[in-house]
Amino acid sequence: MEGQLSGTTAYLGLGTNLGDRQENLTQALKGLDAGPELTVLRTSGIYETAPWGLAEQPDFLNMVAEVCTGLSPRQLLDFVKDLERELGREAGPRFGPRLIDLDILIYGSDVVDEPDLRIPHASMHLRAFVLVPLAELIPDHIHPTLGLTIADLAGEVDGLAGVSPVA
């Protein structure tokens, strides 16, 4: 119901390339929606994407969720990392295969630059698998540090050929 939500609009990237990938995304969205002071407002489509960073692994399913949250950026990071563990994510190589990956991409208009928390996400402008679904939701949003729209960034990023919508 419009008007009942209060908080900050944030955008989270979801990715998975192990197990039942569709189910992993479904469970992650349910976990997000069940979170404290957090409501999933809408989601992008799901995209099958080539691996990024470490090529020798299965393809990913990726999507973006728009959420409204009363959590601070730090609380949101703690919550999504706890949710990843609850869903079965285990430690592994950087950019390696994963059951679920949840990243804070944008948190309102905030810019956060801490050693373990960078908002907007430090690499999102380099990742087609993030920008394509994000542009589906907020094409005209201006990246707060780069000054370009998400649609402009998505149109120029390398790797677009490796991002395909899932029917």
User: Which residue in 21, 94, 98, 118 is the catalytic one?
Assistant: 98
Burial 53-69 (b: 16+ CB within 10 A, else e): eeeebeebbbbbbbbbb
CB atoms within 10 A of CB 50: 15
Query: For residues 129 and 149, what is the distance between their CA atoms, to the nearest angstrom?
Result: 16
Looking at 33, 89, 127, 158, which residue is catalytic? Answer: 89
Choose the catalytic residue: 74, 103, 110, 158. 103
Choice among 33, 74, 78, 101 that is catalytic: 101
Question: Does residue 98 have an active-site annotation?
Answer: yes
Q: Give SS3 for 165.
A: strand
- Is residue 118 annotated as part of the catalytic site, yes or no? no
Where b means 16+ CB within 10 Å and e means fewer, 132-163 reads bbbbbbbeebebeeeeebbbbbbeebeeeebb
152 is catalytic: no
The helix (H) or strand (E) run that includes residue 77 is helix 73-86
Residue 101 catalytic? yes
d(CA 54, CA 36): 34
Question: The tokens of 57 are what?
Answer: 């692994």
Residues with a catalytic annotation lie at 89, 98, 101, 103
